[in-house]
Amino acid sequence: MINSSIISAILYEALRTGGDFSELYLEDTDQNTLSMMDGKVTNAAYQRKVGAGVRVLKGTRSAYAYCNSLSEESLLSAARAAASAFKGMREFETRAFSVDRIGVSCAKIPFSEINNQKRIELLKQGTDAAKAYSGEISQVVVNYMDCDRRTWIYNSEGLHAEDHRPRTRLTLQAVASANGEAQVGSLRPGYVMGFEAYAEKVDMEQVGRQSAEIAVNMLHAPECPSGAVPVVIDGGFGGVILHEACVHSLESTSVGRGNSVFCNKLGQKIASDIVTAIDDGTMPGEWGSMNYDDEGSPAQRNVLIENGVLKSYLVDRLGSRLMNMPVTGSARRQDYTYAPVARMTNTFIAEGSDDEDEMIATMGEGLFAVRMGGGSVNPLTGSFNFAVLEGYWVRNGRIVSPVRGATLVGKGADVLMKIDRVGRRMWMETGICGSTAGLIPTNVGQPRIRVSEIIVGGKGGEV
């Protein structure tokens, strides 16, 4: 993309004030977005994003500068800006590029071969299916995105890495209305694939019907009761509790600065014996997957918790210096305007051996949380508060009614210890994780699990 001698000069210039490591990150991304409301296109856009970032490390200190031009002048200017954070003389030289890591695109049908009419037909299929489900569906909104991201990474230790990540995702939101009230149901499938994802992985009619079904069920549901009760949490997006209330606190951005409830707990029991949690960026086609991370390290399968014992953190290069631990292929960033930090990829609780129906049949009275929503968490304490988008009340081991307005309140460390069932089938769903280094695509997942007791918030009385 850029002459290697120019790249070497940029990395060399970045070390002129005493830095011990320099890195150049280049990005070229094409993105298409399309929005539809009730079968009519409301927005269609194409964007190309090209830019670069230069990072300099000196011990456990870091400086980063970026530019939206790949000219030699702009890149050298960014290198000087990053270097200016340090005051000193050159102490380190750059090495010749001797490590090449080249990731290739997995797309069978590149997005560049698809015209907008095919995208519109796709969204129309989902819209029609949702509308046909019930006369109470008052609105259907579909947002579609595909992008083709190409990255190049060079560093002063002689690394040259390239990755090519096609990625697509859509969100279908169905609104059910009656008697002045409205409820929403939505699904959001996404994959690291080309347009073939919509033939091989995504059934748009099913996406539309299921979204509408959730909305209609919640429209006629009473308010959820409150109390400390057993809760069964279904697979897929139920894994958001693990993601938010636990694994954010295992990232080196928290652990390396001493801002995590899990600091200094490697080898200690932090979860139930039946809980194994994994972050795996190598899973073919999955929304959070990649060939190489945004520092050029190969993606890895990292076992974070094994049979309840903390085994690993997620560590980037700077975190490795802070924690004296090896990198885990977890460095990520939204784009070239951010320096990379350790973040999740595809994070999930691994399959267990428990029967999914038995979990409900033996739980007594409590909540079956089928779909989780957003929430908040304090990484220092692990305290969380999550909304339940689709829930059902259970009495005497049987589902008696849908319920709405439920929230789950607790601490991640407590919930992990109280998991007493883990089902046999794990599945994942897509998310966009906002944290240090911007917004990144991540999968969350788990099998169906049961927690012996969680505080459930709700405004309802007895169901």
Per-residue pLDDT tens over the stretch 88-133: 999 999 999 998 999 999 999 999 999 999 999 999 999 999 999 9
Partners of residue 50 on adjacent β-strands: 28
Distance CA 208, CA 431 (A): 19
- H/E segment holding residue 217: helix 204-219
Q: State residue 381's pLDDT score.
A: 77
Q: State residue 359's pLDDT score.
A: 97
Q: Are residues 376 and 362 in contact, defined by beta-carbon separation less than 8 angstroms?
A: no
Distance CA 315, CA 300 (A): 11
Beta strand pairing status for 137-155 and 159-178? antiparallel
Residue 95: φ, ψ to 5°: -100, 155
Burial class (CB in 10 A: 0-12, 13-18, 19+), 4: exposed
| Secondary structure letter of residue 269 according to DSSP | B
Distance CA 281, CA 277 (A): 13
Q: State residue 413's pLDDT score.
A: 85
Q: Are residues 404 and 392 in contact, defined by beta-carbon separation less than 8 angstroms?
A: no
Q: For residue range 250-260, what is the model confidence (pLDDT) as tens digits?
A: 999 999 999 88
- At 405 the three-state DSSP class reads coil
Nearest to 368 by CA among 222, 218, 219, 233: 233
Confidence check: pLDDT of 310 > 80: yes
**Residue 334: count of CB within 10 angstroms of its CB:** 17
Domains of the chain, earliest start first:
4-219 (3.30.2290.10), 227-457 (no CATH)
Residue 383: band (very low, low, confident or very high) from pLDDT cuts 50, 70, 90: confident
Q: Are residues 219 and 176 in contact, defined by beta-carbon separation less than 8 angstroms?
A: yes
Q: For residue range 194-231, what is the model confidence (pLDDT) as tens digits?
A: 999 999 999 999 999 999 999 999 999 999 999 999 99
Q: Is 377 or 294 the better-scoring residue by pLDDT?
A: 294
Q: State residue 285's pLDDT score.
A: 97
Distance CA 268, CA 262 (A): 10
Distance CA 300, CA 293 (A): 9
Q: Are residues 51 and 29 in contact, defined by beta-carbon separation less than 8 angstroms?
A: no
Nearest to 170 by CA among 31, 288, 34: 34
Residue 62: band (very low, low, confident or very high) from pLDDT cuts 50, 70, 90: very high
Q: For residue range 398-456, what is the model confidence (pLDDT) as tens digits?
A: 999 999 999 999 988 899 999 999 999 999 999 999 989 999 999 999 999 999 999 99
Q: What does the mean pLDDT of the chain come to?
A: 96
Mean pLDDT of 303-310: 98
Q: For residue range 315-335, what is the model confidence (pLDDT) as tens digits?
A: 999 999 999 999 999 999 999
Confidence check: pLDDT of 463 > 80: no
Q: For residue range 330-381, what is the model confidence (pLDDT) as tens digits?
A: 999 999 999 999 999 999 999 999 999 999 999 999 999 999 987 777 767 7
Residue 54: band (very low, low, confident or very high) from pLDDT cuts 50, 70, 90: very high
Q: State residue 365's pLDDT score.
A: 96
Q: State residue 245's pLDDT score.
A: 85
Distance CA 356, CA 258 (A): 38
Q: State residue 398's pLDDT score.
A: 97
